[in-house]
């Protein structure tokens, strides 16, 4: 069972930093990150930030709850072994992606394309269910916008009616917030980052891991909104991104294996 000292301790700053790096590497240029970026290109950036960050913040609580449940059921050294195996698996997955990645592939373009697929599905649903759905008039198989024709005499001097187009109002901030929240929250389910956080919460002190994950998500969400200004014409090698992920998770696997051996030696002595 997890001891109080393992939950809160004065020497846990390294665990805090480790969690920032782990979550940051796993989430950077991930589909969830690009979803925040694409939303920021289209909607109010502050609203996009709040919707995306709160969704990821709730995932931190879910990961902490799952990790704490595992920590109460299994010995600490076994949790370290399981975390080492999980991170080693992620390292292999990233290495596999690196091996099969197109040498000329652009991680930014592919990430945006994957995120756009999810966003476009929601946009299509908005069009079907929007306030103007079913109100457009069909003429010669073409759709034209709805307009008002004022009564005779309200137009020009000759008395002809004036055609006034109704301006299309954009979605409210609450609608944008809800769209970002739901899209990011669902996209994070089953993501590698989620399992990595659960492994960290189960095998490392709870509060430093939780705080590190929150800070990492805050920085990542902020970066997605900020990068929306500059990313339009940038390129980044897919192989480079997958290679960094493979090396990082391999390093964390070795660190968890070291923690497991240290705990096992402490229990045996």
**Is 139 a member of any domain?**
no
Token pair listed for 39: 């939303």
Q: What is the pLDDT of residue 107?
A: 65
Q: Is residue 140 part of a domain?
A: no
Give the pLDDT confidence score for residue 169 in this predicted structure: 55
* Residue 109: domain span: 11-127+146-268
pLDDT of residue 164: 47
The predicted structure's pLDDT at residue 234: 63
> What's the number of domains the chain is made of?
1
> So what's the pLDDT on residue 139?
41
Q: Global pTM?
A: 0.63
pLDDT at 213: 94
Q: Is residue 255 part of a domain?
A: yes
In a domain, 217, yes or no: yes
Q: What is the pLDDT along the chain (269 residues), one digit of tens a residue?
A: 444 334 444 468 888 998 999 898 888 777 778 778 778 877 888 898 999 999 999 999 999 999 988 888 888 778 888 888 888 888 898 889 888 888 777 666 666 666 666 555 445 444 444 444 444 444 444 444 444 444 555 555 444 444 444 445 567 888 889 888 988 888 788 777 888 899 888 888 899 999 999 999 999 889 888 876 676 556 667 787 778 778 877 887 888 888 778 777 776 66
Q: Please report the sign of the dihedral spanned by the C-alpha atoms of residue 181, residue 184, residue 186, residue 189.
A: negative
pLDDT, residue 33, reads 80
Q: Quote the pLDDT of residue 269.
A: 65
């Amino acid at each position: 069972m997890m001891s109080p000292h393992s939950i809160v301790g004065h020497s846990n700053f390294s665990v805090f930093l480790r969690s920032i790096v782990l979550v940051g590497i796993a989430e950077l240029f991930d589909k969830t990150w690009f979803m925040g970026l694409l939303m920021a290109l289209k909607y109010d950036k502050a609203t996009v930030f709040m919707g995306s960050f709160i969704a990821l913040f709730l995932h931190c609580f879910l990961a902490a709850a799952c990790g704490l449940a595992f920590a109460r059921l299994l010995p600490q050294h076994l949790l370290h072994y399981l975390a080492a195996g999980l991170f080693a698996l992620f390292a292999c997955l990233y290495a596999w992606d690196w091996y099969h990645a197109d040498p000329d592939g652009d991680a930014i373009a592919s990430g945006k394309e994957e995120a756009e697929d999810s966003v476009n599905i929601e946009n299509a649903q908005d069009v079907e269910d929007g306030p103007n759905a079913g109100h457009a008039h069909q003429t010669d198989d073409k759709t034209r916008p709805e307009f008002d024709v004022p009564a005779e005499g309200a137009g020009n001097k000759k008395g002809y009616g004036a055609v006034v187009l109704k301006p299309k109002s954009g979605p409210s901030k609450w609608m944008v917030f809800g769209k970002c929240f739901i899209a990011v929250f669902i996209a994070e389910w089953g993501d590698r980052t989620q399992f990595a956080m659960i492994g960290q919460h189960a095998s490392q002190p709870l509060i430093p891991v939780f705080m590190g994950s929150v800070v990492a998500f805050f920085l990542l969400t902020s970066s997605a909104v900020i990068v929306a200004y500059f990313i339009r014409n940038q390129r980044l090698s897919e192989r480079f991104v997958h290679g960094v992920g493979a090396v990082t998770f391999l390093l964390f696997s070795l660190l968890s294996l070291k923690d497991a051996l240290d705990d096992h030696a402490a229990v045996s002595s």
